[in-house]
């Protein structure tokens, strides 16, 4: 199937993995989903343009390289300098970028390898500069001094959505990066300010005593009668002894909280900063970007770490008899999601993007159906962030990333002092020209300096639907423009639900701003992948699973060696080692890419997260082996007679088909519809479940078993001379089996590409209806047509399915009964009919009797029993065998088993619903309980199904 000239284009981009290291199972899930979608479209005739790429991941990658540099050489980035350090990061990128692309290849992704993108390459860098300059010219990018979320560990500002709020209900000690001792949080310190010119004191509460040096006022509520006499007065600062005002502020102060008096520290608290703006209060910075005390304060506190200073301030206040008490206090601690450090609010000038109009457009697009989000439950997250959007701080104080294209005069240039007048331009030359025009003087390039900061990583990745296909470096009519025109907007944006706002919303805002069109109409979100115990997979925790380890297998020793060679902290390393030894005592067995992909697709029926269990991959490896063995077994059965045959259409053989032939083709039609509907509806778990059920339970367990006598040529009696009839039945059975195998491989291919490619080539060569096999020898299954409803609708046969269901019910019931009473060992093979047990079945009418009688040989062969059929009321022949299987023998036994399992399951559910189960029971135990509950429920369902089968035998057929 040639799609090179097809007008149908399907475009998609691979969410770029960070070059922080190798891919983990979460990335494998993304690749599995996208590749299944891509292959499905490719086999349906689309020109698939699926671009792979890598993200430079500013903060994350710089942090990883810094840790590596310190671990191996004992150096910091400052020891190397910016240029040398960036060279180190580029080397890291080359090493891991290649490794990541190799992993993508091993997972079977049909990405366009000749069009990879990297968010820091020349093309993408040009797009970033163009976007920033354009937004600035539109007035949507501006620079302003504001309160930012500063991470002392990473030494950069981060956005609000990169801050995690950790709730503490009482005094709690917490370990922080770079500290040997835990820091106490969740407490309120109460101390006194002396009212100026009096012996009175005002008691204030604070969670941060160390910021007292930056206090410029205390505030009370204007309606609080307790403090009305202090309006307009002053208090004495405990350390500087300077007078600071008592201000009234109904916004800042809650009369019901604490004492109703609040200290105001504008330089280190966002709410205090707003209060200072309202009352024209000064801002006194007393904590620097390293988290150390600074400024015009007592010398004994200069240079102290903020948390060490906290205790020292308390001790000093106690000595001054100004400290009152320490109380438990519910606290929302702001934590950097990347480093785990406590955020320090600092005032500094940064670049911002005004997102208000863009955010409203993006929110309205979803509300109006222009863009859809699946699952729909995530739409509320979309609206929450976009309806409450804040201007986006895009400055990052890093060395790795896109330098902000803004320039200013150097101190001393044309006699100028340090200036905060910036010229935003695509190049230094353009910036100089803008400066000359505005300043009215000639300048040299060396008179200007570029902003040292870089842009937030999400700014560059937010442009990818455009920049990945060449924007903006496209002139009318060239190949880049044609590619962009055909590929934008994307047909689908598939990614993890955890970055809906981080990435998807930014793409929706930026790309529509520059193109005038939404970048995609459908957003498909998949759940997060967690470890077996439900913990988020993290390199810092050491619980990530490399997909190649699952595909190729790995020993425990090598797993431990890789863990020890990574960037896991010393506190987590020991725990991670124990977890590995417990979960993989013999390492990870070789499972193959197909088993991993099939497993990940099957997980998508769960809720918002996936708890990855490698043992589940092992079980799906058995399914892949089943595919291989079934095809290997079936191929010899497809061998044709010696005489040459002309090619024949399967439909022409319908008159020669048995009930089993018509039934399996009808079931194939049903599963074809179910698989396609599942993929189209983004329900991949439904698709893989359907095709697995068809192949194992219907094709292998029923049809092939039913067809063995026909395929082996011994279906007719020896004295029957109907040679042509025998040949016709065999040929129709061969054609039916071949079509089922062929279509099964095609249906499975988007999920298990490797094994289906190999098997399909062999199946294709064994087509019993094709006279010549010389054409298209090199054709891949990927170029074969994907089975669709229109191809198989003529095979739907409700009558055959109903009649076959009757026969299958009888077989299942007999097998279940025989297994229960153990009258014949499962592997025993009687040498004569007289040695077989006999099952007597009473049929409700002559029609049922006739249908079952026609299938008697099949039932007896498959169940290894003799069967006597009779119409209800006719009785049984006196010559019946005495070996009669009784239904009552097994009923009570199985009913007791159901009752016992049900009782155990109910007890486990009550335990899980206990008030303290989630908070006090270890996660590992919770995971074990969940697994045990699934086992019990499976046992109950299986036993009940067996009972139903037994009762089916007892009813009147």
Distance CA 839, CA 96 (A): 66
**Tokens linked to 873:** 């009321």
**Tokens linked to 581:** 């030894």
Asked whether residue 846 falls in the same domain as residue 739, the answer is: no
The more confidently predicted of residues 951 and 121 is 121
The DSSP call for residue 17 is: P
Distance CA 502, CA 83 (A): 29
The DSSP call for residue 882 is: S
Distance CA 343, CA 952 (A): 67
Distance CA 508, CA 511 (A): 6
For the cut 70, the answer to whether the pLDDT of residue 6 exceeds it is no
**Tokens linked to 72:** 């191996």
Asked whether residue 780 falls in the same domain as residue 840, the answer is: no
For the cut 60, the answer to whether the pLDDT of residue 822 exceeds it is no
Asked whether residue 769 falls in the same domain as residue 846, the answer is: no
For the cut 80, the answer to whether the pLDDT of residue 897 exceeds it is no
pLDDT of residue 930: 77
Q: Is residue 710 part of a domain?
A: yes
Q: Which has the closest alpha carbon to 459: 392, 513, 526, 518?
A: 392
* Cα-only R_g, the chain: 36
Q: What is the mean pLDDT of residues 493-522?
A: 95
Cβ atoms of 261 and 267 within 8 Å: the answer is no
Of 175-184, 243-252, 413-422, 436-445, the range with the lowest mean pLDDT is: 413-422
Asked whether residue 789 falls in the same domain as residue 837, the answer is: no
Q: Is residue 524 part of a domain?
A: no
Q: Is residue 114 part of a domain?
A: no
Asked whether residue 731 falls in the same domain as residue 787, the answer is: yes
Place of tokens 């007597």: 840
Other beta carbons within 10 Å of 651: 9
What CATH number is attached to the domain comprising 229? Answer: 3.90.740.10
Q: Is residue 674 part of a domain?
A: yes
Cβ atoms of 559 and 588 within 8 Å: the answer is yes
Distance CA 216, CA 24 (A): 50
For the cut 60, the answer to whether the pLDDT of residue 888 exceeds it is no
pLDDT level of residue 923 (50, 70, 90 thresholds): low
Assign 3-class secondary structure to 226-289. Answer: HHHHHCCCEEECCCCCCEEEEEECCCCCCCCCCCCEEEECHHHCHHHHHHHHHHCCCCCCCECC
Q: Is residue 901 part of a domain?
A: yes
Distance CA 214, CA 287 (A): 9
Helix residue ranges, H only, 444-546:
457-461, 464-467, 479-487, 506-515
CA pseudo-torsion sign 942, 948, 949, 951: positive
Q: Is residue 658 part of a domain?
A: yes
Cβ atoms of 563 and 555 within 8 Å: the answer is no
Q: What is the mean pLDDT of residues 736-759?
A: 97
Of 576-585, 607-616, 912-921, 947-956, the range with the lowest mean pLDDT is: 947-956
Other beta carbons within 10 Å of 335: 18
Distance CA 238, CA 263 (A): 12
The more confidently predicted of residues 852 and 647 is 852
Q: Is residue 603 part of a domain?
A: no
Q: What is the mean pLDDT of residues 68-92?
A: 92
| Sheet of strand 448-450: strand arrangement | 423-424, 406-409, 448-450
Range of 251's domain? 187-329
For the cut 70, the answer to whether the pLDDT of residue 878 exceeds it is no
In b/e form, how buried is each residue of 764-783, taking b as 16+ CB within 10 angstroms? bebbbbbeeeeeeeeeebbe
Cβ atoms of 535 and 572 within 8 Å: the answer is no
For the cut 60, the answer to whether the pLDDT of residue 773 exceeds it is no
Distance CA 813, CA 340 (A): 60
Give the Cα-Cα-Cα angle 441, 445, 449 (nearest 5 degrees). Answer: 105
Cβ atoms of 592 and 609 within 8 Å: the answer is no
The more confidently predicted of residues 648 and 500 is 500
| Cis peptide bond N-terminal to 375, omega within 30 | yes
pLDDT of residue 865: 83
Asked whether residue 754 falls in the same domain as residue 869, the answer is: no
pLDDT level of residue 285 (50, 70, 90 thresholds): very high
Cross-strand pairs, 372: 522
pLDDT level of residue 777 (50, 70, 90 thresholds): low
Calculate the alpha carbon distances from 831 to 482, 824, 836 in Å.
Answer: 73, 13, 9
Helix axes 684-693, 659-680, angle to 10 degrees: 170
Calculate the alpha carbon distances from 32 to 36, 686, 758, 807 in Å.
Answer: 6, 15, 19, 39
Q: What is the mean pLDDT of residues 114-134?
A: 95
pLDDT level of residue 879 (50, 70, 90 thresholds): very low
Q: What is the mean pLDDT of residues 366-387?
A: 95
Q: Which has the closest alpha carbon to 343: 515, 166, 585?
A: 166
For the cut 60, the answer to whether the pLDDT of residue 791 exceeds it is yes
Q: What is the pLDDT of residues 330-365, one digit of tens each?
A: 999 999 988 889 999 999 999 999 999 999 999 999
Cβ atoms of 657 and 736 within 8 Å: the answer is yes
Of 354-363, 620-629, 688-697, 723-732, the range with the lowest mean pLDDT is: 723-732
Residues above pLDDT 70, as percent of the chain:
88
* Residue 621 CB-half CA count within 13 A: 16
Which burial class, exposed, middle or buried, applies to 810 when counting CB atoms under 10 A from its CB (0-12, 13-18, 19+)?
buried
What CATH number is attached to the domain comprising 747? Answer: 1.10.730.10
Cβ atoms of 708 and 783 within 8 Å: the answer is no
Beta-strand ranges (E) seen in 844-945 are 866-871
Which residues 6+ apart lie within 8 Å of 718 measured at CB? Answer: none
Of 48-52, 67-71, 245-249, the range with the lowest mean pLDDT is: 67-71
Q: What is the mean pLDDT of residues 209-222?
A: 97
Give the DSSP per-residue string, 935-952.
HHHHHHHHHHHHHHHHHH
**Tokens linked to 879:** 């010559």
Asked whether residue 789 falls in the same domain as residue 863, the answer is: no
Which residues 6+ apart lie within 8 Å of 538 measured at CB? Answer: 544
The DSSP call for residue 651 is: G
Q: Which has the closest alpha carbon to 28: 593, 755, 664?
A: 593
Asked whether residue 851 falls in the same domain as residue 733, the answer is: no
pLDDT of residue 677: 96
Distance CA 707, CA 634 (A): 11
pLDDT of residue 474: 55
The more confidently predicted of residues 60 and 317 is 317
Give the DSSP per-residue string, 413-433.
GGG-------EE-SSHHHHHH
For the cut 50, the answer to whether the pLDDT of residue 124 exceeds it is yes
Distance CA 957, CA 872 (A): 8
pLDDT of residue 537: 77
Q: Which of 291, 308, 329 is the endpoint of a domain?
A: 329
**Tokens linked to 439:** 């300043």
Q: What is the pLDDT of residues 235-281, one digit of tens each?
A: 999 999 999 999 999 999 999 988 999 999 999 999 999 999 999 99
Calculate the alpha carbon distances from 68 to 65, 90, 339, 486, 932 in Å.
Answer: 5, 14, 15, 43, 42
pTM listed for this prediction? 0.84
| Length of the chain counted residue by residue | 957
Q: Is residue 766 part of a domain?
A: yes
Which burial class, exposed, middle or buried, applies to 626 when counting CB atoms under 10 A from its CB (0-12, 13-18, 19+)?
middle
pLDDT of residue 875: 47
The more confidently predicted of residues 670 and 832 is 670
Q: Which of 278, 308, 329 is the endpoint of a domain?
A: 329
* 307 alpha carbon, distance to own chain's centre: 37
Distance CA 138, CA 136 (A): 5
Asked whether residue 762 falls in the same domain as residue 897, the answer is: no
Asked whether residue 635 falls in the same domain as residue 717, the answer is: yes
Mean pLDDT, the chain, whole residue set = 86
Distance CA 784, CA 779 (A): 8
pLDDT of residue 254: 93
For the cut 80, the answer to whether the pLDDT of residue 588 exceeds it is yes
Place of tokens 């020349």: 122
pLDDT of residue 820: 61
pLDDT level of residue 476 (50, 70, 90 thresholds): very low
Distance CA 518, CA 508 (A): 6
Asked whether residue 771 falls in the same domain as residue 916, the answer is: no
Calculate the alpha carbon distances from 345 to 293, 454, 720 in Å.
Answer: 13, 20, 94
Cβ atoms of 110 and 593 within 8 Å: the answer is no
Place of tokens 């801050």: 163
Distance CA 636, CA 609 (A): 44
Calculate the alpha carbon distances from 910 to 861, 918, 930 in Å.
Answer: 47, 13, 12
Total number of domains constituting the chain = 3
* Phi and psi based region of residue 140 (left: phi greater than 0; alpha: psi -120 to 50; beta: remaining): alpha
pLDDT level of residue 852 (50, 70, 90 thresholds): confident
Cβ atoms of 230 and 222 within 8 Å: the answer is no
pLDDT of residue 100: 92
pLDDT of residue 883: 30
CA pseudo-torsion sign 677, 683, 689, 695: positive
Q: Which of 796, 820, 852 is the endpoint of a domain?
A: 796
Asked whether residue 779 falls in the same domain as residue 853, the answer is: no
Q: What is the pLDDT of residues 560-581, one digit of tens each?
A: 988 887 767 677 788 888 888 8
């Amino acid at each position: 199937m040639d799609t090179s000239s097809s007008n149908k284009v399907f475009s998609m981009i691979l969410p770029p993995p960070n070059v922080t290291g190798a891919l983990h199972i979460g990335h494998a899930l993304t690749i599995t989903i996208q590749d299944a979608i891509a292959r499905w479209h490719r086999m349906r005739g689309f020109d698939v343009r699926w671009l792979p790429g890598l993200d430079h991941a500013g903060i994350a990658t710089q942090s990883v390289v810094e840790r590596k540099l310190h671990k191996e050489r004992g150096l910091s980035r400052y020891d190397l300098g910016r240029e040398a350090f960036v060279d180190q990061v580029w080397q890291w990128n080359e090493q891991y970028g290649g490794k990541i692309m190799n992993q993508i290849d091993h997972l079977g992704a049909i990405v366009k390898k000749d069009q990879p993108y990297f968010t820091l390459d020349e093309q993408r860098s040009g797009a970033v500069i163009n976007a920033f300059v354009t937004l600035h010219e539109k007035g949507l990018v501006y620079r302003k001094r504001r309160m930012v979320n500063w991470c002392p560990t990473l030494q950069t500002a981060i956005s609000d959505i990169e801050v995690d709020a950790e709730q503490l209900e009482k005094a709690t000690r917490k370990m922080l990066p770079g500290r040997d001792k835990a820091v106490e949080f969740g407490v309120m310190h109460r101390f006194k300010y002396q009212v100026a010119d009096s012996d009175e004191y005002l008691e204030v509460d604070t969670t941060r005593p160390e910021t007292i040096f930056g206090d410029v006022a205390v505030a009370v509520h204007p309606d609080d009668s307790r403090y009305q006499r202090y309006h307009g007065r002053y208090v004495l600062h405990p350390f500087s002894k300077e007078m600071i005002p008592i201000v009234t502020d109904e916004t800042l102060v809650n009369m019901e909280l604490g004492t109703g008096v609040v200290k105001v520290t504008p330089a280190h608290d966002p709410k205090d900063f707003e209060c200072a703006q309202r009352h024209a209060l000064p801002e006194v910075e007393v904590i620097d970007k390293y988290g150390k005390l600074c400024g015009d304060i007592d010398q004994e506190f200069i240079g102290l770490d903020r948390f060490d200073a906290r205790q020292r301030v308390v001790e000093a206040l106690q000595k001054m008899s100004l400290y009152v008490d320490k109380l438990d206090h519910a606290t929302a601690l702001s934590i950097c999601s990347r480093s785990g450090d406590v955020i320090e609010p600092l005032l500094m000038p940064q670049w911002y993007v005004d997102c208000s109009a863009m955010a409203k457009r993006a929110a309205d697009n979803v509300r109006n159906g222009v863009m859809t989000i699946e699952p729909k439950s995530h739409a509320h997250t979309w609206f929450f962030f976009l309806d409450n959007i804040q201007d986006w701080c895009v400055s990052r104080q890093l060395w790795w990333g896109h330098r902000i294209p803004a320039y200013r005069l150097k101190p001393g240039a044309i006699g100028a002092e340090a200036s905060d007048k910036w010229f935003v331009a695509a190049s230094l030359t353009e910036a100089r020209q803008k400066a000359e025009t505005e300043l009215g003087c000639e300048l040299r390039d060396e008179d200007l300096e570029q902003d040292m900061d870089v842009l937030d990583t999400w700014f560059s990745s937010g442009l990818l639907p455009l920049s990945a296909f060449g924007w903006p470096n496209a002139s009318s009519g060239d190949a880049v423009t044609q590619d962009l025109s055909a590929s934008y907007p994307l047909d689908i944006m598939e990614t993890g639900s955890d970055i809906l706002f981080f990435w998807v919303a930014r793409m929706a805002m930026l790309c529509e701003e520059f193109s005038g069109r939404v970048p995609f109409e459908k957003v498909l979100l998949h759940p997060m992948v967690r470890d077996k115990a439900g913990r988020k997979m993290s390199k810092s925790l050491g619980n990530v699973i490399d997909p190649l380890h699952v595909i190729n297998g790995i020993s425990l020793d090598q797993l431990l060696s890789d863990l020890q060679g990574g960037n896991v902290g010393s506190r987590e390393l020991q725990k991670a080692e124990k977890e590995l030894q417990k979960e993989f005592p013999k390492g990870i067995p070789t499972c193959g890419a197909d088993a991993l992909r099939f497993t990940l697709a099957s997980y998508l029926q769960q809720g918002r997260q996936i708890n990855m269990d490698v043992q589940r991959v092992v079980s799906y490896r058995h399914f892949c082996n089943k595919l291989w063995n079934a095809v290997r077994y079936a191929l010899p059965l497809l061998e044709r007679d010696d005489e040459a045959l002309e090619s024949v259409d399967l439909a022409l053989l319908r008159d020669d088909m048995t009930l089993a032939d018509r039934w399996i083709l009808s079931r194939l039609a049903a599963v074809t519809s179910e698989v396609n509907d599942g993929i189209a509806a983004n329900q991949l778990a439904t698709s893989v479940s359907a095709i697995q059920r068809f192949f194992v339970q219907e094709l292998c367990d029923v049809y092939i078993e039913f067809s063995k006598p026909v395929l082996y040529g011994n279906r007719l009696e020896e004295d029957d001379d109907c040679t042509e009839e025998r040949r016709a039945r065999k040929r129709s059975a061969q054609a039916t089996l071949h079509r089922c195998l062929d279509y099964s491989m095609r249906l499975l291919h988007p999920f298990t590409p490797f094994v289906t490619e190999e098997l399909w080539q062999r199946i294709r060569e064994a087509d019993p209806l094709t006279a010549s096999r010389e054409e298209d020898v090199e054709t891949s299954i990927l170029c074969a047509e994907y089975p669709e409803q229109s191809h198989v609708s003529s095979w739907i046969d409700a009558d055959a399915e109903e009649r076959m269901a009757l026969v299958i019910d009888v077989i299942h019931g007999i097998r279940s009964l025989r297994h229960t009473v153990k009258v014949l060992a499962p592997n025993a093979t009687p040498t004569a009919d007289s040695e077989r047990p006999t099952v007597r079945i009473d049929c409700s009418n002559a029609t049922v009797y006739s249908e079952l009688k026609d299938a008697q040989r099949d039932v007896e062969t498959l169940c290894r029993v003799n069967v006597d059929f009779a119409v209800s009321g006719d009785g049984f022949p006196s010559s019946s065998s005495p070996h009669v299987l009784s239904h009552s023998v097994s009923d009570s036994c199985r009913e007791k088993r159901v009752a016992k399992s049900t009782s155990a399951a109910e007890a486990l559910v009550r335990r899980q619903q206990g008030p303290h189960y989630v908070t006090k029971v270890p996660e590992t135990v919770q995971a074990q309980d969940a697994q045990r509950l699934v086992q019990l429920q499976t046992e109950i369902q299986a036993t009940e199904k067996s009972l139903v089968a037994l009762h089916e035998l007892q009813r009147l057929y």
